[in-house]
């Protein structure tokens, strides 16, 4: 089976190439924005900026399946004058152009990495997002992912392309950025963190578990047409995540019991309301259909995923 991985030089893409290289009978082709050294791919194709006019035909030639990872991801400090248009150009128009060209090229299966943000930004206590829930995207990134999902379903209905969608929560591992990297740095520096009073639950997925599922979806006949949730299988509160990080670093977790309402007020005053929300609110996903219908379970436990991530951080990303 010849597989095209887009965004192959990204955070998830590089690990997926390693995962798929170990699969018997798989030949790997990588698509990147510009030239990159990817030793695990047989071929590397530079496709430039992604939009409705991108020409994917050389990369798609003779491919059996596509894993589409390339995207404009959620931006913490947005600088675009019209973020919605930029997200749509890359994440919606670019994805659908790739899918249409995949149909012409005779590709059988199209695996699309979407986001749990399609479901919404937070879950109520004791509840989890499932694929049956109505979509409730709250920002331009999530809207662009939902529109791509809907467009892919339409293309599949007309062409027979086997579309498979994965909605992922926060992915961590070597190369992780944003809030997760900040937490690693704060724990490493021994800073006291005002998070002991936070009683939330968050679903996370290590890059190793996500890539294992993506590999499963390439060939699993029960995956066709489905939307699948993924996680490590253990939901953590923010203070528990900090404790686990500290244990992996052989550090002490310094947690202070500051009321959540004060954290939210401070975040609003500092212009970091969204970041504080992600530290304090719950967001969990229901992965039971993924386990029960696909026969898949996460091969890497949370503690092992954190241990590997901490090892990368200490060797490459620590200040």
Residues noted as catalytic: 141
Which H or E run includes 32? Answer: strand 27-32
Nearest to 16 by CA among 209, 220, 231: 209
Sign of CA dihedral 103, 10, 112, 121: negative
3-state secondary structure of 82: coil
151/132 Cα distance (integer angstroms) = 18
Contacts (Cβ under 8 Å, ≥6 apart) of 315: none
The rounded distance, in Å, linking the Cα atoms of 276 and 1 is 44
Fill in the DSSP letter of residue 221: G
Phi, psi of 255 (to 5 degrees): -120, 130
CA distance 273 to 189: 23
Contact criterion met (CB below 8 Å) for 193 and 256: yes
Q: Are 66 and 109 in contact (CB under 8 A)?
A: yes
CB 118 within 8 A of CB 174: no
Task: Name the DSSP class of 134.
Answer: P
Instruction: Identify the helix (H) or strand (E) that includes residue 182.
Output: helix 178-189
**CB-based contact 110:163 (threshold 8 Å):** yes
């Amino acid at each position: 089976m010849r597989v095209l991985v887009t965004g192959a030089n990204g955070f998830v893409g590089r690990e997926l190439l390693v995962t798929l290289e170990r699969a018997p009978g798989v030949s790997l082709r990588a698509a990147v924005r510009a030239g990159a050294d990817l030793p695990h791919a047989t071929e590397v194709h530079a496709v430039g900026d992604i939009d409705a006019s991108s020409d994917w035909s050389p990369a798609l030639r003779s491919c059996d399946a596509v894993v589409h990872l390339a995207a404009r991801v959620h931006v913490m400090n947005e600088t675009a004058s019209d973020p919605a248009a930029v997200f749509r150009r890359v994440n919606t128009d670019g994805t659908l152009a790739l899918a249409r060209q995949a149909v012409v090229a005779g590709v059988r299966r199209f695996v699309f990495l979407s986001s749990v943000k399609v479901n919404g930004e937070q879950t109520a206590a004791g509840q989890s997002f499932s694929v049956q829930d109505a979509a409730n995207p709250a920002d331009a990134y999530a809207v662009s992912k939902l529109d791509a999902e809907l467009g892919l379903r339409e293309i599949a209905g007309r062409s027979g392309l086997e579309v498979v969608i994965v909605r992922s929560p926060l992915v961590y591992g070597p190369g992780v950025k944003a809030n997760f990297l900040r937490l690693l740095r704060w724990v490493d520096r021994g800073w006291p963190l005002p998070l002991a009073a936070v009683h939330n639950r968050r679903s996370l997925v290590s890059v190793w578990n996500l890539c294992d599922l993506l590999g499963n979806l390439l060939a699993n006949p029960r995956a066709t047409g489905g939307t699948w949730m993924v996680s490590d299988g253990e939901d953590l509160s923010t203070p528990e995540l900090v404790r686990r990080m500290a244990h992996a670093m052989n550090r002490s977790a310094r947690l202070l019991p500051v009321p959540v309402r004060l954290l939210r007020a401070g975040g609003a005053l500092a212009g970091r309301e969204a970041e504080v929300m992600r530290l304090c609110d719950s967001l969990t996903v229901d992965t039971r259909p993924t386990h029960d219908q696909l026969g898949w379970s996460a091969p890497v436990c949370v503690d092992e995923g954190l241990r590997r991530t901490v090892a990368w951080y200490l060797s490459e990303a620590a200040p």
